[in-house]
Amino acid sequence: MKDAQKKVLFRSEDIASRVCELGRQISADYPEGNILLIGILKGAFVFLADLVRCLDQPCQIDFARISSYGSGTVSSGELKITMDIGIPVAGRDVILVDDIVDTGLTLNQYRDELARRGPRSLKVAAMIDKTARRERHVKLDYCGFRIDDGFLVGYGLDCDECFRNLGSIYVLE
């Protein structure tokens, strides 16, 4: 798959302006600031890094690593937190940030887990909403781009750990 052809789907310039729009939207929604943004590793690291630099107000950042895939390639539906956040979410305004929502299993379950910890508010942001294989409803409060299907790489998204560093988002063909 690493040798597959790839075609630009979203150019880096268009990503940058969309991410800044989302940043402005978030800044307007939280005038008091002090948001806690939680990125899901590894895919969200590029989106989160760009997003926080488009915010006008102070914020805190943490990361979690979660897996619902076990050892296989098909989602087991079982949430495994392989690295949890270090900052407590109780009483905080939290935004959970991911690269792409596919089946929705991962984000849905970790969102519920965070909700159980008693944040003051909890919203979800994703760069890409990929709708064709959705199994669990995930309310996306902030979404960069929506697509139907396709395997995407670049801007944090990988195929076998490659392509995360590309500035644009590509579809593998």
- Is 43 near Mg ion (CB under 5 A)? yes
Q: Which of 102, 112, 149, 158 is catalytic?
A: 102
Q: Does 102 bind ligand IMP (CB under 6 A)?
A: yes
104 binds Mg ion, rule: CB under 5 A: no
Query: How far is Cα 150 from Cα 152, in angstroms, rounded to an integer?
Result: 6
Structure tokens at 88: 């407590």
Beta strands in the chain (DSSP E): 6-10, 35-41, 59-67, 80-83, 93-101, 121-130, 142-147, 152-153, 169-172
How far apart are alpha carbons 114 and 18 in whole angstroms? 27
157 binds, among ligand IMP, Mg ion, none (CB under 5 to 8 A by kind): ligand IMP
Q: How far apart are CA 51 and CA 166, in angstroms?
A: 17
Q: How far is the C-alpha of 141 from the C-alpha of 123, rounded, in Å?
A: 6
In the list 101, 114, 124, 127, the residue contacting ligand IMP (rule: CB under 6 A) is: 101
Tokens of 83: 């690295």
Interface with ligand IMP by CB under 6 A: which range of 16-24, 86-94, 105-113, 115-123? 105-113
Residue selected from 15, 35, 37, 105 as contacting ligand IMP according to rule CB under 6 A: 105
| Residue 102 annotated among the catalytic residues of the structure | yes
Stretch of residues binding Mg ion (CB under 5 A), selected from 47-55, 80-88, 93-101, 117-125: 93-101
Which element (helix H / strand E) includes 151? Answer: none
Binding to ligand IMP by residue 104, rule CB under 6 A?
yes
CB 109 to ligand IMP: min, Å: 8
Catalytic residues: 102
Residues forming contacts to ligand IMP in the complex (CB under 6 A) are 43, 68, 75, 98-107, 130, 151-152, 157-158
